[in-house]
Amino acid sequence: MADLQEDKRLYIPIKEVAAYMGVNTSTLRYWEKQFDQLNPRKNGKGDRLYTKKDILLLKNIYNLVKEQGYKIEAAKNILSKRKPDGPDKYALIEKLEDVKAFLRTLRKSL
């Protein structure tokens, strides 16, 4: 799953999401217990399946906990104060990266 935006699947298995995020599947399951906003779908066998929206939330959590060094409780508070329909800077960054890749491709073709 090199590029999330190009992936056409509606649901992505936990193993692939963990590899994409650079964390263990156990970390994703732990975050699911800690963050109420994170509710991946589960198939009949109980395997977790994530949507792109779930993955964007995971990126937010990853950024707060792993990159900025917030404790879980602080990260929960920050995420709970964000408007659910407000601008998501990680979604915007993802789109800007797509534009950047497109421009690089265009540049090479000139």
pLDDT number for residue 82: 73
12-109 belongs to CATH 2.20.25.190:
no
Q: How far is Cα 38 from Cα 55, in angstroms, rounded to an integer? A: 9
Q: How far is Cα 8 from Cα 13, in angstroms, rounded to an integer? A: 13
Interval 72-100: pLDDT, tens = 999 999 988 876 555 566 667 777 878 88
Q: Are 49 and 40 in contact (CB under 8 A)?
A: yes
Q: How far is Cα 57 from Cα 51, in angstroms, rounded to an integer? A: 10
Give the residue extent of every domain in the chain: 12-109
Interval 1-43: pLDDT, tens = 456 657 788 899 999 999 999 999 999 999 999 999 899 999 9
Q: What is the pTM of this model?
A: 0.71
Residue 59: count other Cβ atoms within 10 Å of its Cβ: 19
